[in-house]
Chains A and B, each alone.
Chain A
Amino acid sequence: MARTISIDPVTRIEGHARITLQLNDDGVVDDARFHVTQFRGFEKFCEGRPFYEMPSLMARTCGICPVSHLIAGAKACDDLFAVQIPYPAQMLRRLMNLAQILQSHALNFYYLSLPDLFFGMDADPAKRNIIAVAQENPELAQDGIRLRQIGQQIIETLGGKRIHPSWVVPGGVNAPLTPEHREMILGGVPEGLAILKRALEWFHAHRDAFKPEVNTFGNFSSYYLGIVNEKGNLEHYDGNFRVMDAAGNIVVDQLDTLKYQDLIAEANEAWTYEKFPYLKELGYPDGMYRVGPLARLNIATACDTYRADEELKNFRSSTTTPAASSFHYHWARLIEMIYCLERMEQILNDPDILSTHVRAFAKPNSFNGIGVAEAPRGTLIHHYRIDENGLMTWADLVIATVHNNLAMNRAVLQVAKSFVDGKELTDGALNRVEAVIRAFDPCLSCSTHADGRRDLQVDLIDADGRLVDSTTR
């Protein structure tokens, strides 16, 4: 008899979700759906508010990556001003965004994903957590805590607060960098790089054990989307769109991010609060693409920092080109963390970084403003419209996790087909289904912009649509 399996809630992800596995009459997984069960409505309640509140207001969508929202929001406001913000302000915002990516990647790698990687997918669920990792390998766990702290401290040093700083403002930032703070941040770079060296050594020593996961964790063809700088290299703050196809051909390059609506469109499905963006030209669902660390490293010509490029070479020689398995998001995150530290060092050594010219003052000169930046999980788009007095009339946020929605659903189906057999819901199988979601590091609070539930539910539904089994974790 056909059944449906439900995993609800999905654990160790940022937000609340449920997975439904549909079995056919032979008890084989037929379809899988990743439902986001929370709804938020930020785009609605911003209406009528002054535009300059938006960076801080929209940043409240998320406690993990508020900085990315601040930055995309402030960039959208710069676009409403229709001004070029001072160079030092751009560099300072970029610095904070890199610190944000560093801390968020460290959170995903060490706190959320490492327990699966360290103990293996079939290990006792009670054991798969960072505390248990700390008991067995204290150095590794401490490294994770410290690395995240380095990122958080940089955010705090720059913005005066770890979470939700209001330093990034329309037109720039509201205070320059002091020489003491510059030294403080620089001081953390060598330690961070040493931690990442150890992390890579550990990762490479254990990588082979995950061959089955590499093959089945969202290992499929898709497009890859992100922003790159004018040389085509890795970029997170300000660049143009590049899209690569599954064969590694660059199909869109240096497209102005303000034209995002020419590139992507969004579809809705009744069973989830999350939208499904797709590449407009290819239609839905063929225009499925991935964003985030894996996509960024696939599309970038190079990182353009020494150590990150060394590891990127290693990455490219050991994976397909472009790397198709979503399992490689983990490796990509490690490389990006190295890049973040190296790039921060470059920025801090820029002769203009201590300049006090960090803000442009203007009034709105345009009724339409778009801000695009790379958040830890991928491309983040804030689009605002205002009336002639500067009050918001409309907003659209396209969030990193949402871009990956089609791909995540596909990945869950692939893993479920390989590891779930309809007769028995083993812990190892269910955990793999969850782990593939974790590889994407989705942030559901952001993506549904919450009221709602904690954690992941998996439902098993038969061919007649009856709920046969359901587990909550």
Chain B
Amino acid sequence: MDEQPIAIKTLTIDGKEVGARSGDTILQVAQEHGIWIPTLCFLDGLTAYGSCRICMVELEGNNRLFPACVTKVYEGMVVIIHSPRLEHYRRVIVEMLLSERPHICSVCVSNGHCELQTMAQLLGVTSVRYPYLMRKHDVDASNHRFLHDDNRCILCGRCVRVCSEIEGAHTWAFSGRGVESRIVTDLDQPWGESESCTGCSKCVHVCPTGALIEKGRSVAEMAKRRQFLPYLTVMRKEDAE
């Protein structure tokens, strides 16, 4: 059978000329070439989602900003990852995330292992210019092994995606809009009463922050293990074929 030849595109990322397969996203190409683009909601092995907007890049000739995780490359594309405008917006995003929920790192089980915290450090966020909303969210500790703390959630949706795409349980979903948005289990029942949850803990380990955690961990002890994900994704694909 004749295979379709893979179309190769050339583009430049921050002044560096790179080759890419057509259909690749800017983020894929950058990662293949060892070029760092900051990401938060993206996780290798899950469908790119483009919700956090941290990976926004500029494209020459266009005034709009584009999320690198879902924007496909085209021939002659000129991508700018680092510019004062982008750096400003990225910091603003992180500051907004930090101010929206009470992120008290010093007493958080994820302190020192948290992607939001690391991103803040990498982007040089040393203070938050917005007032903290300090809305109190109830903690769902009804599951005997895990705990869901909305106070630390950044709504990246990784748990929702891993639960449906990899585990196939569809336990997690979004509920509410805007500042009222939350992730919920089943039809907003306590996690401990969820009929669909298989207790696989994938959501816990893909969660970038201290929002989904294992019980029994003390402050700064919740390091997550996500190495499994790309392998699982490949295996599931093979099974399906």
A residues adjacent to B (C-beta < 8 A): 48-50, 52-53, 55-57, 60, 164, 166, 169-170, 174, 361, 363, 389-391
**A57-B107, A60-B106 in contact; A390/B218 too (CB < 8 A)?**
no
**A52-B218, A174-B218, A361-B216 in contact; A164/B141 too (CB < 8 A)?**
no
Q: Identify 17 residue pairs between A and B in the complex whose beta-carbon atoms are under 8 Å apart, listed by A's number.
A: A48-B136, A48-B138, A50-B141, A50-B215, A52-B219, A53-B107, A53-B109, A53-B219, A55-B218, A55-B219, A56-B106, A56-B218, A166-B219, A169-B219, A389-B141, A389-B142, A390-B215
- B217–A166 contact, CB under 8 A? no
CB distance from A369 to the nearest CB of B (A): 15
Max chain A C-beta neighbours (<10 A), residue from B107, B111, B216, B217: B107
- A170–B141 contact, CB under 8 A? no
Report chain B residues within 8 Å CB of A60: 106-107
- A166–B142 contact, CB under 8 A? no
CB distance from A361 to the nearest CB of B (A): 6
Report chain B residues within 8 Å CB of A391: 139, 141
CB distance from B135 to the nearest CB of A (A): 13
- A169–B221 contact, CB under 8 A? yes
B residues adjacent to A (C-beta < 8 A): 106-109, 111, 136, 138-139, 141-142, 144, 147, 149, 192, 215-221
CB distance from A174 to the nearest CB of B (A): 7
Q: Give the CA-CA distance A278 to B234 in the complex, in Å.
A: 68
- B221–A50 contact, CB under 8 A? no
Q: Give the CA-CA distance A174 to B216 in the complex, in Å.
A: 12
- B218–A170 contact, CB under 8 A? yes
**A50-B139, A391-B139, A391-B141 in contact; A56/B216 too (CB < 8 A)?**
no
Instruction: Tell me which of A164, A174, A390 contacts B106 (CB under 8 A).
Output: A164
Name the residue of chain B whose CB is nearest to the CB of A392.
B139
Name the residue of chain B whose CB is nearest to the CB of A53.
B107
Q: Give the CA-CA distance A164 to B139 in the complex, in Å.
A: 24
Report chain A residues within 8 Å CB of B219: 52-53, 55-56, 166, 169
Report chain A residues within 8 Å CB of B136: 48
CB distance from B146 to the nearest CB of A (A): 11
Q: Give the CA-CA distance A363 to B147 in the complex, in Å.
A: 13
Report chain B residues within 8 Å CB of A48: 136, 138-139
Q: Give the CA-CA distance A361 to B218 in the complex, in Å.
A: 11
CB distance from A47 to the nearest CB of B (A): 10
Instruction: Tell me which of B107, B216, B220 contacts A363 (CB under 8 A).
Output: B216
Max chain A C-beta neighbours (<10 A), residue from B142, B192, B216: B216
Report chain A residues within 8 Å CB of B138: 48
Report chain B residues within 8 Å CB of A55: 218-219
CB distance from B124 to the nearest CB of A (A): 23
**A56-B107, A361-B216 in contact; A390/B221 too (CB < 8 A)?**
no
Name the residue of chain B whose CB is nearest to the CB of A169.
B218
Report chain A residues within 8 Å CB of B220: 166
Report chain B residues within 8 Å CB of A389: 141-142, 192
CB distance from A336 to the nearest CB of B (A): 29
Max chain B C-beta neighbours (<10 A), residue from A60, A363, A389, A390: A389
- A50–B106 contact, CB under 8 A? no
Q: Give the CA-CA distance A98 to B181 in the complex, in Å.
A: 48
Name the residue of chain A whose CB is nearest to the CB of B145.
A363
CB distance from B237 to the nearest CB of A (A): 37
Q: Give the CA-CA distance A416 to B144 in the complex, in Å.
A: 59
Q: A48-B138, A166-B220 are in contact. List 9 more A-B contacts (CB 8 A).
A: A48-B136, A53-B108, A55-B219, A56-B107, A56-B219, A60-B107, A166-B111, A389-B141, A390-B141
Q: Give the CA-CA distance A363 to B141 in the complex, in Å.
A: 12
CB distance from B57 to the nearest CB of A (A): 38
Report chain A residues within 8 Å CB of B216: 52, 361, 363
